[in-house]
Structure 1
Amino acid sequence: MSQNSFSTTSRTSWFQRLGASLSGLVFGLVLILIGIALLGWNEARSVAAIRTADEGGRQVVAAQTGRVDPALNGRLVHLSGQATATSPIADPETGVSIGGLRLVRTVEHYQWVETSRSETRTRLGGGQETVTTYDYARDWSPRPVASADFKQPEGHANPSPVLADADHPATDARLGAYRLDGEMVGRLPAATPVNPTQADATNLSSRLGRSVVVTGDALYVGANPAAPQVGDARVRYSVAPFGPVSVMARQDGDRLSPYQARHGSVFEVRTGLLDAPAMVRQVKADNQVMSWLLRLAGFVAVAAGAGMVLNPLRVLADVLPLAGSIVGMGTGLVSLVFAVAVSGVVIALSWLAVRPVVAVLCLAIVGAAVAAPIVLKRRGRPQAVAFS
């Protein structure tokens, strides 16, 4: 077998599988509760975010970037203009320096990467045999890989990374007469690539004690970019440049801080010249995306937990592999229907006080999803024939 491929075979008896599934039943119940809690918390968070955005839209006042109006201290203000900084941003570890609002360093590492694939066969009697194959390949990865955790670390050792990712906001950023602190600047997207110079490569080489060359938009740490070796790295930079930004925050003199509304805080910064209503719409759109991602996570947790609760039924039926497959499909369908019902009810109840129409619609969809299998089953039954 190749040094870069390694296989293991494990066998589990039916009694061991049954015991594990019964233990997993408890964890499945916990996972269902976690999913329900996540769904409920997410809806409460989403409602609070929407109310905060609406409240901010009602209370915000326009301020001029050219001067600080003391009468607006403590108020939620909207500012829009050109953001700048006097001093360039410098990366103290590499010496790279550039003018901008935020400098982000990302590092790729050339290293050993482990992947695995498993094939499980259920034998007559309910026992299982699992063959797991681990493959090792050298590839670029955005994060360091701990080779000590490999199934077969021998011959696949990764050295310590030369550098890590880093984020450097400008320390003297300003929006006209107002200061922009690191927290606010750190929210601006650093999407403009920085092309390093030969001077940057020379400086980094002296700091690391390794060969560094410029290749495209990266500083290559290693001897030959065309033939990478384990331990080499590619260092890239991106910057949030000077330019138009829009802000909604509390005015404290020439500083901007989070504004505490009734249901949450308002502390928004966006690129571009946007009026306050446009910023509120963007906040709501971002909240909607986050809400659906968390709903999906909660749904998956409930479905997975239900599957673990029902898994002992499949294990019991696996004494005959075909019967186990049929029962497994049934428990999978039941888990999905259960997750749809639970998720829909939790979401609907959370929205009932805020958007009753949406809540009723959600409950109707849940009812239809749960009732559909029952109706279809009844329609599939043969009708009794009456003889006179």
Structure 2
Amino acid sequence: MSYTETTTTSWFTRIKNALIGILVGIVLILVSIYFLFWNEGRAIQTYRSLVEGAGLVVSVDSARTDPANDGKLIHITGPVKAEGTVSDDQFAVEADGALAIVRNVEMYQWVEKSESKTEKNLGGSEETTTTYSYSKEWRSSPVDSADFKVPDGHENPSFAVDAKRIVVDSATVGAFVLDGSQVANLGDDKQIRLTEEDVSRIGSEIATDRPVKFNQGDIYLGSSASSPQIGDMKIGFERTDLAEASFVGAQKGDRIEAYTSTNGREILLSAAGKKDAPAMFAQAQQENTIITWLIRAGGLLGLFIGFKLMTMILPVLGDVVPFIGSIVSFGTGILALVFTLVVGPLVIAIGWFAYRPALAIGIIASSLLLAAAFIYLRRKAAAAATTQPALGRTG
């Protein structure tokens, strides 16, 4: 089931869009430069904070709290226990001892997908052919069919039940108290298998005219789980459990909270199971490195798109003859890549100079020394090669 639409964009409209693209490109370049520079400071300050914390942290027995450690950065490992019983009050589903209850909801819905193909015409205009196709899929979030190109015959009903996650207010790790969400985020989810009585009771609370059925420990709203219809729903419950956890943070009475290092960065590390302090700090440093490179990659991509937008007017002008426009487009792509590879590393280097000038100068000096040594050895080898024949003739 599909629908095809063909649109034509005139050359003058494309020029206008390209001029707007120049402004968007300038903004995107400036934003990318800002985040590349900011990211170097964030990475370095986080690194310093973690190094400081690794040197200060004290591993303590989680079975009891020691007032002498109040305000200090401590590391604990211990058994996890939820404080209170978590429950989904709307449907009276409880999970004794769990850290959270997750209500999972899916609906069988229409989903729109589109594919476009653009061809350039002599004179600079473009003709775009877009094919919209429609399929039925299980989705955990609503798909707004009102935004479809062809909404008629592809209407999605509203969700009769929303997904939800309910977390305990607090949990203990040994004798220490932590925010429930901090601990629950480390846990594993496991199905809560409902009974037929549960399904009947919950079904009476749902505003639906569809049959409510028991389906492998979950709830099915619809006539047949093996032959779903648009609007059918699956509802299931899971509990989040965790036997043991490790934390690094500031002791505040019997609570573990974020520790503020001397540069203002906060330290609050967590891990499921038993992990010693060095391993947790090493993991945090690794995560900091990954985040740094992800932001760098995003910044460089933003620069490339920005430079590409700034030069987009050139291939549009060349598209009066499509073949020429394609050549110019390839050239502007190479140009945008060159600008990105020059500006991006330069901004990163400036960030290093701003936040770690001594190390940046040291790296540059080392690079210059290595380059000088390489040139010296090459010249020495060349000189030896030129004198060798002369020595042969003398002999």
State the TM-score, normalizing by the size of structure 1: 0.86
Please tell me the residue identity of whatever aligns with 1:319: V
Q: Is the 8 A contact 1:193 1:217 kept in 2?
A: no
Q: Is the 8 A contact 2:194 2:218 kept in 1?
A: no
Structure 1: 5+ residue runs without aligned partners?
A: 365-388
Question: Could you report, residue by residue, the CA deviation over 1:1-59 in whole angstroms, capped at 9, with x for unpaired residues?
Answer: xxx42222211111111111011111111111111112122222222221221121112
Q: Is the 8 A contact 1:56 1:266 kept in 2?
A: yes
Q: Is the 8 A contact 1:202 1:212 kept in 2?
A: yes
Matches within 5 A, 1:1-388: 4-98=1-95, 99-188=97-186, 190-198=187-195, 199-210=197-208, 211-216=211-216, 218-263=218-263, 264-352=265-353, 353-354=355-356, 355-356=359-360, 360=364
Segment of structure 1 superposing worse, 237-246 or 117-126: 237-246
Q: Is the 8 A contact 1:187 1:269 kept in 2?
A: no
Counterpart of 1:48 in 2: which secondary structure? Answer: helix
Q: Distance in 2 between matches of 1:267 and 1:315?
A: 52
Question: Could you report, residue by residue, the CA deviation over 1:206-242 in whole angstroms, capped at 9, with x for unpaired residues?
Answer: 2214544444575333332111122222334444313
1:250 Cα offset (Å): 1.4
Structure 2: 5+ residue runs without aligned partners?
A: 369-395
Q: Distance in 1 between matches of 2:245 and 2:361?
A: 37
Query: Runs of 4+ in structure 1 displaced over 4 angstroms?
Result: 357-361
1:375 aligned partner = none
Q: Distance in 2 between matches of 1:358 and 1:208?
A: 67
1:186 Cα offset (Å): 4.3
Are the structure 2 counterparts of residues 326 and 236 from structure 1 closer, same or farther at C-alpha, using a change threshold of 3 Å? farther
Are the structure 2 counterparts of residues 74 and 35 from structure 1 closer, same or farther at C-alpha, using a change threshold of 3 Å? same
Q: Distance in 2 between matches of 1:28 and 1:11?
A: 24
Segment of structure 1 superposing worse, 19-28 or 222-231: 222-231
Are the structure 2 counterparts of residues 164 and 177 from structure 1 closer, same or farther at C-alpha, using a change threshold of 3 Å? same
Q: Distance in 1 between matches of 2:295 and 2:247?
A: 27
Equivalent residues, number: 360
Q: Distance in 1 between matches of 2:166 and 2:50?
A: 29
State the TM-score, normalizing by the size of structure 2: 0.84
2:378 aligned partner = none
Counterpart of 2:135 in 1: which secondary structure? Answer: strand
Q: Is the 8 A contact 1:196 1:214 kept in 2?
A: no
Segment of structure 1 superposing worse, 244-253 or 42-51: 42-51
Give the structure with higher Rg (CA): 2
Question: Could you report, residue by residue, the CA deviation over 1:97-126 in whole angstroms, capped at 9, with x for unpaired residues?
Answer: 223223333332211111111111100111
Q: Distance in 2 between matches of 1:335 and 1:212?
A: 58
Please tell me the residue identity of whatever aligns with 2:167: P
Are the structure 2 counterparts of residues 156 and 252 from structure 1 closer, same or farther at C-alpha, using a change threshold of 3 Å? same
